[in-house]
Amino acid sequence: MKCSTKTTVLALFIICINSSHVFAQPSRFSYNTFENKGDTLRYRQLYPDADPLRKYPLVIFLHGSGERGNDNDAQLKWGVSNFATDENMKLHPALVIAPQCPANMNWSNFSNTKNTTALQLMPAPGKPMELLIALIKQLTKTLPVDTNRIYITGLSMGGFGTYDAIARYPNLFAAAVPVCGGGDTSKASSIAKIPMWIFHGAEDAAVSPLYSLEMLDALTKAGAHPGFTQYPEVGHFSWLAAYSDTMMLEWLFRQHK
Protein backbone atom coordinates (compact mmCIF):
# COMPACT_ATOMS: atom_id res chain seq x y z
CA MET A 1 0.00 0.00 0.00
CA LYS A 2 1.35 3.41 -0.96
CA CYS A 3 1.02 6.50 1.19
CA SER A 4 0.75 9.95 -0.23
CA THR A 5 3.36 12.52 0.69
CA LYS A 6 0.71 14.55 2.48
CA THR A 7 -0.37 11.55 4.56
CA THR A 8 3.23 10.68 5.45
CA VAL A 9 4.03 14.25 6.50
CA LEU A 10 0.87 14.41 8.62
CA ALA A 11 1.72 11.12 10.32
CA LEU A 12 5.25 12.27 11.10
CA PHE A 13 3.90 15.57 12.42
CA ILE A 14 1.53 13.75 14.79
CA ILE A 15 4.35 11.46 15.98
CA CYS A 16 6.61 14.44 16.60
CA ILE A 17 3.91 16.31 18.51
CA ASN A 18 3.14 13.26 20.65
CA SER A 19 6.83 12.61 21.28
CA SER A 20 7.42 16.22 22.23
CA HIS A 21 4.50 16.03 24.63
CA VAL A 22 5.95 12.93 26.28
CA PHE A 23 9.52 14.18 26.61
CA ALA A 24 8.51 17.73 27.54
CA GLN A 25 6.85 16.60 30.74
CA PRO A 26 8.84 18.20 33.57
CA SER A 27 10.37 15.76 36.01
CA ARG A 28 8.92 15.80 39.49
CA PHE A 29 12.38 15.06 40.89
CA SER A 30 14.49 18.09 41.75
CA TYR A 31 18.25 18.14 41.18
CA ASN A 32 20.31 18.14 44.38
CA THR A 33 23.84 17.59 45.63
CA PHE A 34 25.09 16.69 49.07
CA GLU A 35 28.63 17.49 50.19
CA ASN A 36 30.30 15.93 53.19
CA LYS A 37 33.99 16.13 54.13
CA GLY A 38 35.00 17.06 50.60
CA ASP A 39 32.96 14.32 48.91
CA THR A 40 29.83 14.86 46.80
CA LEU A 41 26.74 12.72 46.32
CA ARG A 42 24.35 13.73 43.56
CA TYR A 43 20.71 12.87 44.08
CA ARG A 44 17.22 13.55 42.84
CA GLN A 45 14.39 14.32 45.24
CA LEU A 46 10.64 13.89 44.99
CA TYR A 47 8.75 16.17 47.34
CA PRO A 48 5.03 15.68 48.02
CA ASP A 49 2.44 18.45 48.01
CA ALA A 50 3.35 18.90 51.64
CA ASP A 51 1.11 19.81 54.52
CA PRO A 52 3.39 21.75 56.90
CA LEU A 53 1.75 20.03 59.85
CA ARG A 54 2.49 16.50 58.59
CA LYS A 55 5.54 14.28 58.46
CA TYR A 56 6.11 12.00 55.49
CA PRO A 57 7.73 8.64 54.87
CA LEU A 58 11.16 8.73 53.25
CA VAL A 59 11.91 6.26 50.46
CA ILE A 60 15.53 5.62 49.47
CA PHE A 61 15.90 4.22 45.95
CA LEU A 62 19.22 2.66 44.87
CA HIS A 63 19.78 2.19 41.13
CA GLY A 64 21.75 -0.54 39.35
CA SER A 65 25.30 -0.56 38.00
CA GLY A 66 24.31 0.68 34.54
CA GLU A 67 23.12 4.01 35.92
CA ARG A 68 26.32 5.04 37.70
CA GLY A 69 27.94 8.34 36.77
CA ASN A 70 27.66 12.04 37.47
CA ASP A 71 24.85 13.27 35.18
CA ASN A 72 22.28 13.07 38.02
CA ASP A 73 19.74 11.73 35.50
CA ALA A 74 20.49 8.09 34.76
CA GLN A 75 19.31 6.87 38.17
CA LEU A 76 15.72 7.71 37.20
CA LYS A 77 15.75 5.24 34.29
CA TRP A 78 14.19 2.28 36.09
CA GLY A 79 11.68 1.81 38.88
CA VAL A 80 11.71 5.02 40.85
CA SER A 81 9.24 6.80 38.55
CA ASN A 82 6.53 4.48 39.89
CA PHE A 83 6.65 6.46 43.14
CA ALA A 84 5.99 9.71 41.23
CA THR A 85 2.76 8.84 39.41
CA ASP A 86 -0.33 10.91 40.08
CA GLU A 87 -2.02 7.91 41.67
CA ASN A 88 0.84 6.99 43.97
CA MET A 89 1.47 10.56 45.07
CA LYS A 90 -2.21 10.82 45.93
CA LEU A 91 -2.39 7.50 47.79
CA HIS A 92 1.10 7.48 49.28
CA PRO A 93 2.63 10.96 49.44
CA ALA A 94 6.27 10.56 50.35
CA LEU A 95 9.72 12.05 50.13
CA VAL A 96 11.75 9.97 47.68
CA ILE A 97 15.52 10.20 47.35
CA ALA A 98 17.31 8.68 44.33
CA PRO A 99 21.07 9.13 44.75
CA GLN A 100 23.54 8.41 41.96
CA CYS A 101 26.53 6.21 42.64
CA PRO A 102 29.73 7.54 41.02
CA ALA A 103 31.30 5.55 38.18
CA ASN A 104 33.40 2.53 39.15
CA MET A 105 32.01 2.51 42.68
CA ASN A 106 29.31 0.42 44.41
CA TRP A 107 26.53 0.87 46.93
CA SER A 108 27.67 -2.21 48.84
CA ASN A 109 30.97 -3.39 50.27
CA PHE A 110 31.00 -7.19 50.33
CA SER A 111 33.77 -9.70 49.83
CA ASN A 112 32.95 -13.02 48.23
CA THR A 113 34.61 -16.29 47.34
CA LYS A 114 34.84 -16.88 43.61
CA ASN A 115 32.14 -19.11 42.10
CA THR A 116 29.95 -19.01 45.22
CA THR A 117 27.06 -16.85 46.38
CA ALA A 118 28.52 -16.46 49.88
CA LEU A 119 29.02 -12.78 50.68
CA GLN A 120 30.74 -11.27 53.70
CA LEU A 121 29.94 -7.73 54.81
CA MET A 122 33.18 -5.78 55.11
CA PRO A 123 33.73 -3.77 58.32
CA ALA A 124 33.48 -0.31 56.73
CA PRO A 125 30.84 0.94 54.29
CA GLY A 126 31.90 2.07 50.84
CA LYS A 127 32.12 5.82 50.22
CA PRO A 128 28.73 6.06 48.39
CA MET A 129 26.94 4.31 51.26
CA GLU A 130 28.73 6.45 53.83
CA LEU A 131 27.59 9.58 52.00
CA LEU A 132 24.04 8.25 51.66
CA ILE A 133 23.67 7.60 55.38
CA ALA A 134 25.02 11.07 56.16
CA LEU A 135 22.48 12.51 53.70
CA ILE A 136 19.62 10.61 55.33
CA LYS A 137 20.62 11.92 58.75
CA GLN A 138 20.67 15.47 57.40
CA LEU A 139 17.29 15.12 55.69
CA THR A 140 15.67 13.91 58.90
CA LYS A 141 16.70 17.24 60.43
CA THR A 142 15.79 19.54 57.55
CA LEU A 143 12.70 17.93 55.99
CA PRO A 144 9.39 16.72 57.47
CA VAL A 145 10.51 13.08 57.63
CA ASP A 146 8.64 10.51 59.68
CA THR A 147 11.65 8.72 61.14
CA ASN A 148 9.49 5.69 61.91
CA ARG A 149 8.84 5.24 58.18
CA ILE A 150 12.19 5.29 56.37
CA TYR A 151 12.19 2.68 53.62
CA ILE A 152 14.98 1.46 51.36
CA THR A 153 14.79 -0.38 48.06
CA GLY A 154 17.09 -1.03 45.16
CA LEU A 155 17.59 -3.11 42.05
CA SER A 156 20.57 -5.26 41.04
CA MET A 157 23.61 -3.36 42.39
CA GLY A 158 21.04 -1.39 44.40
CA GLY A 159 19.58 -4.65 45.71
CA PHE A 160 22.99 -5.55 47.11
CA GLY A 161 23.18 -2.00 48.47
CA THR A 162 19.82 -2.46 50.19
CA TYR A 163 21.12 -5.50 52.08
CA ASP A 164 24.34 -3.65 52.91
CA ALA A 165 22.43 -0.68 54.33
CA ILE A 166 20.03 -2.63 56.53
CA ALA A 167 22.84 -4.87 57.83
CA ARG A 168 24.92 -1.84 58.86
CA TYR A 169 22.06 0.33 60.11
CA PRO A 170 19.26 -2.06 61.17
CA ASN A 171 17.64 0.50 63.47
CA LEU A 172 17.31 3.14 60.75
CA PHE A 173 14.91 1.46 58.34
CA ALA A 174 11.26 0.51 58.76
CA ALA A 175 11.16 -1.79 55.71
CA ALA A 176 13.27 -2.95 52.78
CA VAL A 177 12.54 -4.17 49.24
CA PRO A 178 15.65 -5.71 47.63
CA VAL A 179 15.17 -6.55 43.96
CA CYS A 180 17.51 -9.07 42.25
CA GLY A 181 20.21 -8.48 44.85
CA GLY A 182 22.13 -10.39 47.48
CA GLY A 183 23.59 -9.96 50.94
CA ASP A 184 25.50 -11.51 53.81
CA THR A 185 23.27 -14.33 55.08
CA SER A 186 25.23 -14.49 58.34
CA LYS A 187 23.64 -11.13 59.23
CA ALA A 188 20.10 -12.51 58.95
CA SER A 189 19.44 -12.51 62.69
CA SER A 190 20.35 -8.82 62.98
CA ILE A 191 17.90 -7.80 60.23
CA ALA A 192 15.15 -10.33 60.96
CA LYS A 193 12.91 -7.70 62.56
CA ILE A 194 12.92 -5.47 59.48
CA PRO A 195 9.84 -6.09 57.29
CA MET A 196 11.14 -7.19 53.92
CA TRP A 197 9.83 -8.20 50.50
CA ILE A 198 12.37 -9.86 48.21
CA PHE A 199 11.97 -9.99 44.41
CA HIS A 200 13.93 -11.92 41.78
CA GLY A 201 13.57 -13.38 38.30
CA ALA A 202 13.80 -17.18 38.11
CA GLU A 203 15.98 -16.99 34.99
CA ASP A 204 18.24 -14.11 36.03
CA ALA A 205 21.60 -14.72 34.35
CA ALA A 206 23.21 -11.56 35.76
CA VAL A 207 22.46 -12.08 39.47
CA SER A 208 21.70 -15.66 40.40
CA PRO A 209 18.32 -16.23 42.07
CA LEU A 210 20.27 -18.25 44.64
CA TYR A 211 21.26 -14.97 46.31
CA SER A 212 17.63 -14.25 47.12
CA LEU A 213 16.71 -17.86 47.88
CA GLU A 214 19.58 -18.24 50.34
CA MET A 215 18.71 -14.95 52.05
CA LEU A 216 15.07 -16.03 52.26
CA ASP A 217 16.14 -19.30 53.91
CA ALA A 218 18.48 -17.54 56.37
CA LEU A 219 15.87 -14.95 57.32
CA THR A 220 13.19 -17.60 57.82
CA LYS A 221 15.50 -19.62 60.06
CA ALA A 222 16.19 -16.43 62.04
CA GLY A 223 12.46 -16.05 62.73
CA ALA A 224 11.64 -13.47 60.06
CA HIS A 225 8.60 -13.56 57.79
CA PRO A 226 9.80 -11.90 54.58
CA GLY A 227 7.71 -11.60 51.48
CA PHE A 228 9.23 -13.37 48.49
CA THR A 229 8.31 -13.16 44.82
CA GLN A 230 10.19 -15.08 42.15
CA TYR A 231 8.88 -14.41 38.67
CA PRO A 232 8.90 -17.44 36.37
CA GLU A 233 10.42 -17.02 32.91
CA VAL A 234 11.87 -13.62 33.92
CA GLY A 235 15.54 -12.68 33.67
CA HIS A 236 17.37 -9.77 35.21
CA PHE A 237 14.66 -7.17 34.59
CA SER A 238 12.47 -8.38 37.46
CA TRP A 239 12.23 -4.78 38.67
CA LEU A 240 9.78 -3.97 35.86
CA ALA A 241 7.14 -6.10 37.57
CA ALA A 242 8.30 -5.47 41.14
CA TYR A 243 7.90 -1.69 41.10
CA SER A 244 4.64 -1.92 39.17
CA ASP A 245 3.16 -4.15 41.88
CA THR A 246 0.52 -2.05 43.63
CA MET A 247 0.25 -4.66 46.37
CA MET A 248 3.95 -4.20 47.15
CA LEU A 249 3.55 -0.43 47.32
CA GLU A 250 0.51 -0.74 49.57
CA TRP A 251 2.45 -3.09 51.82
CA LEU A 252 5.52 -0.86 51.90
CA PHE A 253 3.72 2.27 53.01
CA ARG A 254 1.92 0.39 55.80
CA GLN A 255 5.20 -0.43 57.55
CA HIS A 256 6.23 1.42 60.72
CA LYS A 257 9.05 0.92 63.17
CA distance 172 to 231: 29
Question: What does R_g of the chain's alpha carbons equal in angstroms?
Answer: 20
CATH architecture of 26-254: 3-Layer(aba) Sandwich (3.40)
Total residues belonging to the chain: 257
Q: Which H or E run includes 254?
A: helix 246-254
Q: Looking at residue 114, what is its pLDDT?
A: 67
Amino acid at 21: H
The 3-state DSSP class for residue 151 equals strand
Decide the pairing of beta strands 119-121 and 110-112: antiparallel
81-114 pLDDT per residue, tens: 999 999 999 999 999 999 999 999 999 999 986 6
* Domain residue extents for the chain: 26-254
Q: Which of 112, 127, 122 is nearest to 211 (CA)?
A: 112
177-211 pLDDT per residue, tens: 999 999 999 999 999 999 999 999 999 999 999 99
Please give the order of strands across the beta sheet that includes 227-231.
29-36, 39-46, 95-100, 56-62, 145-155, 175-179, 197-201, 227-231
Q: Are 125 and 91 in contact (CB under 8 A)?
A: no
137-175 pLDDT per residue, tens: 999 999 999 999 999 999 999 999 999 999 999 999 999
- 198 forms beta bridges with 228
Q: Are 210 and 117 in contact (CB under 8 A)?
A: yes
Would you state the torsion angle of the CA atoms of residues 34, 40, 41, 47, taken in this order, to the nearest 10 degrees?
A: 20
55-87 pLDDT per residue, tens: 999 999 999 999 999 999 999 999 999 999 999
Instruction: Count the neighbouring beta carbons within 10 Å of the beta carbon of residue 20.
Output: 10
